[in-house]
Amino acid sequence: MKFLTRTIWLLSLVSLFTDLASEMLYPVMPLYLKSIGFSVVFIGVLEGLAEAVAGLSKGYFGQWSDRLGRRRPFVQWGYGLSALSKPLLAVLAAPWWVFLVRALDRLGKGLRTGARDALLADEAPTGQRAAVFGFHRALDTLGAVVGPAAALLWLSQHPGQYRLLFVLAFLPGLLAVLVTLLVREKQQAPSGQPVRPFWASFEYWQRAPVSYRRVAGALLLFALVNSSDALLLLLARQQGLSDPAVIGVYIVYNLVYAVAALPAGLLADRLGPGRILPVGLLLFALVYGVATQLHSWQSFGVLFGLYGLYAAATEGVGKAWLSQLCSPTDKGAALGTFAGLSSLAALGASTLTGLVWQLLGASAAFGLSAVVATAVAGYIAFGPRHSTQ
């Protein structure tokens, strides 16, 4: 795999270490917040506001990196802020402090995402971008396998010691920051576009090519029904799985995702992303369509394996496709804008799914997501032809 340059390897390792740190905390964050007095409602508000910070900042910093023709500083500072936020969560338990630290972590994600994805696209040889993004997602998701396993091991030996776990999560985060110091970037021509105000983060959409808006628009429609994975895990719990079984199927999902991401990218480069993305969306529709009918951990294990295949066929493939539908000097803005809008759409998706679930039941909520995913798959497969199929 000669297309895997030194920079691609380094950025992928950075994502692995960062995701390891983040996923060490993912299964215990709600438990910790409840232990210090947070209500379920406030936890939801906290996470929603934190994700809004990330969503609004991705496009802004992405187009800023285009204007400067620089990627690495945004990558380094972004990962640095996220690493710093981990131990800070253990300092105080006050709500304002927890929100500030969560916002700092999400600001770091917003700062780095567009520039990092643009740097990966800059490094990818012609015709192999999906493979590059697939490899990056594979290592990133490997961290999501190791992280929860490490947290479970720690808590099994030290029950209830959440704060020390936050401090331990700083170590892989720090290692990620150190690896960013080794990253080199190719010289890029500045875009010449002025940096818009923060509240105009998504200005790129207005000047983006029609083909970009069609593909991104279809994927954003899907994002509006692609609710948080936490709701799918909650459904598994309600369908009779024990807590260890729920975490187990979550690890299965991440493991399949990690293994399948690179092959999916290679296949997308060979057949075209417009042929692989619909397959992934149909897998999503299948998972959401039958999830409410299952009850055993074995069936949910298979289901979450299919869910991992869906993620492998869509996440990196979609980014690679969008990076081909924009000007080379606009990659940061294009990928940052899409990432930011996707984050905001995800907030709406979780809210919508939760409301439908409460009012009409889980079958209606998950069925709606399956129907919309099927429609988007049909549009991408049979709708207007897009460049770089």
Domains, the chain, ranges and CATH? 6-182+209-382 (1.20.1250.20)
pLDDT at position 30: 61
Closest CA to 287 of 253, 242, 320, 262: 253
Judged on CB neighbours under 10 Å (0-12, 13-18, 19+), 6 is exposed
CB of 26 within 8 A of CB of 141? no
Q: How confident is the model at residue 385 (pLDDT cuts 50, 70, 90)?
A: low
Residue 39 phi/psi, 5-degree rounding, is -80, 165
CB atoms within 10 A of CB 316: 30
pLDDT at position 277: 94
Is the pTM of the predicted complex or chain greater than 0.85?
A: no
How far is it, in rounded angstroms, from Cα 109 to Cα 152? 25
Q: Who has greater pLDDT, 315 or 94?
A: 315
How far is it, in rounded angstroms, from Cα 254 to Cα 336? 24
Q: Who has greater pLDDT, 315 or 55?
A: 315
- On average, the pLDDT of the chain sits at 82
Highest mean pLDDT among 60-69, 232-241, 253-262: 253-262
DSSP state of 194: P
Judged on CB neighbours under 10 Å (0-12, 13-18, 19+), 9 is middle
pLDDT at position 220: 93
Could you tell me the two tokens for 189?
């021509």
How far is it, in rounded angstroms, from Cα 162 to Cα 34? 11
Q: How confident is the model at residue 77 (pLDDT cuts 50, 70, 90)?
A: very high
Question: Is the predicted pLDDT of residue 169 greater than 70, yes or no?
Answer: yes
The amino acid sitting at 283 is L
